[in-house]
Amino acid sequence: MVDKEKARDTVRSFLEKMGVEAIYWDPEGERFVLPYDIEGARVLVYVMFLEDYEWVVTLADLYDLNKLPQHVDKERFFQRLLVDNFMRYENRYGIDFEGHLVALAE
């Protein structure tokens, strides 16, 4: 069985070494929350523990797809995301249960 506190401390240490400035622990979700400002948009990145802390996943909540402008060709937009999913094995895109575009890395 994994020592959860040690796993959290190890991940926090890596985040600090990477220069992440704001690191918040969400005890309810058992995850780190990293707020970023990217080109004026607030983006939340979550570092989560799965499989009883044996697996670490990073998820970035990128965009609320319900706010996609009308002029955007949705078919081309989603086709581009699928191509990127195929070409970049180190991360992938998805849609969460709230209709947000997310990026995942394991």
Contacts of 69 (CB under 8 A, 6+ apart): none
Write the CB contacts of 30 (distance below 8 Å, at least 6 apart in sequence): 4, 48, 49
Cα separation, 50 vs 60, in Å, equals 16
Asked if 65 and 101 count as a contact pair (C-beta separation under 8 A), the reply is yes
Tell me, what's the pLDDT at 18?
94
Q: What are phi and psi of 56, to 5 degrees?
A: -115, 130
Asked whether residue 23 carries a pLDDT value surpassing 80, the answer given is yes
Q: Please write the tens of the pLDDT for every residue from 49-105.
A: 988 888 899 999 999 999 999 999 999 999 999 998 888 877 789 999 999 999 988
The SS3 of residue 20 is coil
Q: What is the CATH number of domain 4-105?
A: 3.30.1460.10
- The string of pLDDT tens digits covering residues 29-49 is 999 999 998 888 889 999 999
